[in-house]
Amino acid sequence: MNRIIFALDVYDYNEALSLSRELSNDVFAIKVNWPLVMNNGISIVKEISRYSNVICDFKIADIDNTNRLITEKARENNAWGIITHSFTGRRSLKAVVSAAGDMKVFSLVSMSQESFIDNYTDDLVKMSMEENVYGLVAPGNRIDILRHIRSMSGDLKIIAPGIGAQGGGITDAIMAGADYVIIGRSIYSDPEPLKKVKSLNEILGDD
Ligand code: 3DU
């Protein structure tokens, strides 16, 4: 079992593909974000999906129709999962869930940095559960908030960024209720990314 989601926040096509190939057996999924997609186009999602589950971290935050259009593009390119904001409200969230089909929808309910979303986290968790998302994004470096979100969210999967470069501890996040931890810089900035992932898996007792 692997509980690391690798945040592939690089620009370069060759680097992205070679990291994906190298790490795919030792991570649960690869998360792509705007920096990679802006430089290479959405088709990079399909290419990486040959090696790993891909989560599109597009933090979708628009009206229902635009949310649908974005979600459909991720789905067309074989994404396994998609991350959406939820503060834009129920109608926007519903559009993502319905366009996602088999893709897993993760709803962001709190950031790893303080934000105005903090004022609405409980409402966002409740709404996300009512709208049948697969999981939530919650901060792995703000442990009390993560624990609180875990206590509210039943068996929804929680994926948690904020580990390593942003100060969070990998075991702290898992102990507080994260199912998976999202890690970027601590892995891809390491001179030996595969060795780094393997050592993190060892800390978690994962193979
Ligand atoms: O800090 P790292 O390099 O380990 O990368 C974390 C990733 O998770 C990065 O893609 C960032 O955009 C994403 N993320 C957060 O860091 C914090 C959030 O609240 C949501 C997403």
Ligand 1 pocket, 117 CB below 6 A?
no
**Measured between alpha carbons, how far is 176 from 170 in angstroms, rounded to an integer?**
10
Q: What is the pLDDT of residues 176-202, one digit of tens each?
A: 999 999 999 999 999 999 999 999 999
Contacts of 97 (CB under 8 A, 6+ apart): 105, 131, 132, 133
Cβ pair 131, 123 in contact under 8 A = no
Q: What is the pLDDT of residues 108-158, one digit of tens each?
A: 999 999 999 999 999 999 999 999 999 999 999 999 999 999 999 999 999
Closest Cα partner for 33 from 48, 51, 50, 21?
48
Tokens of 130: 């009512």
Stated as kind and residue range, the H or E segment containing 93 is: helix 90-100
Reported pTM = 0.98
Residue nearest to atom 12 of ligand 1 (CA): 33
ipTM greater than 0.90, yes or no? yes
**Measured between alpha carbons, how far is 9 from 33 in angstroms, rounded to an integer?**
6
In 3-state terms, what secondary structure has residue 128? helix
Residue nearest to atom 19 of ligand 1 (CA): 111
Task: Please report, in range form, the residues annotated as the binding site for substrate.
Answer: 9, 31, 184-185
**DSSP assigned state of 4:** E
Contacts of 66 (CB under 8 A, 6+ apart): 60
Longest alpha-carbon distance in the chain: 44
Residue nearest to atom 20 of ligand 1 (CA): 111
Contacts of 158 (CB under 8 A, 6+ apart): 135, 136, 137, 138, 146, 149, 150, 177, 178, 179, 180
Q: Does 102 qualify as catalytic in the annotation? A: no
pLDDT band at residue 8 using 50, 70 and 90 as cut-offs: very high
Which pLDDT score is estimated for 144? 98
Closest Cα partner for 146 from 119, 115, 168, 116?
168
Q: Does 122 qualify as catalytic in the annotation? A: no
In the chain, the percentage of residues whose pLDDT exceeds 90 is 99
**DSSP assigned state of 54:** E
Contacts of 47 (CB under 8 A, 6+ apart): 17
